[in-house]
Amino acid sequence: MAAPIEEFFTTLDERPYMVEFDLPEPSDIYFPKLMQRLADNPPLVTGETDDLYTILKNTAHFFRIIGKDNILIIKGILDREKPTFEQIIANFYVLLDDPDCLEDQFNLSISKDSLYHYAGFFLDTMGGRLYLFRRDSMSRMVVNYYAVLIIDRANREGRNKYGIDLGGPIDDLIDEIESSNIELSYREQYLDDLYDLKERYQ
């Protein structure tokens, strides 16, 4: 699973538009560093509505951790690389099950707890939901799909410490995918998995 991701980074470095971003390092070094920074600084999942400061902190999570310039770079890449987005995310999700490979190939160490926090952030916090609603529909649906899978795994492993409920997010995501005109490469797989989960969480 590491090979397609490495190939994606190599392809990025060959894209003419990448020149304008003027990265100080090759993509396979630069972006894993950003990912590690995010993994080491997960967002808040609980207590977000205790005060306005916490809500604002969560809403600006990515800005605080990796900065405006990096956000613009990532948005620029996502806008141009939509045809490969779903496949790369799928490959990366599988690679998360092989932490040794992830560390050897990309110098990345991403804990299950960090993944759980990000999944909960997108599914169950005001800051996370607002962030996704500012993104395009395809990105939002795909991110929510993998967030659901991560929380489901946390449930099965007894790690859902904040008691994040998947019933509503699963129903909402099924409705969004079925009513959307966006062409998703793995639409049927998403729906098959979500309907299986829907039965589990009824």
Tens of pLDDT, residues 56-76? 888 899 999 999 999 999 999
- CA separation for the pair 12, 194 (Å, rounded): 32
Q: What percentage of the chain's residues is helix, strand, coil (to nearest 5)?
A: 75, 0, 25
Burial class, 70, CB count within 10 angstroms (exposed 0-12 / middle 13-18 / buried 19+): buried
- CA separation for the pair 166, 107 (Å, rounded): 32
Domain boundaries, the chain: 2-200
Determine contact, residues 32/109, Cβ cutoff 8 Å: no
Write down the pLDDT at residue 46.
86
Q: What is the mean pLDDT of residues 91-119?
A: 96
Write down the pLDDT at residue 100.
95
Q: What is the mean pLDDT of residues 151-164?
A: 97
Model confidence band, residue 17 (pLDDT cutoffs 50, 70, 90): very high
Model confidence band, residue 106 (pLDDT cutoffs 50, 70, 90): very high
For 26-37, the pLDDT digits (tens) are 999 999 999 999
Q: Give me the chain's average pLDDT, please.
A: 94
For 35-57, the pLDDT digits (tens) are 999 999 999 898 777 778 788 88
Write down the pLDDT at residue 144.
98
- CA separation for the pair 190, 57 (Å, rounded): 31
**Nearest residue to 197 via CA among 176, 171, 158:** 171
Q: What is the mean pLDDT of residues 137-144?
A: 96
In this structure, what is the dihedral angle of CA atoms 140, 28, 112, 85, given to the nearest 10 degrees?
20
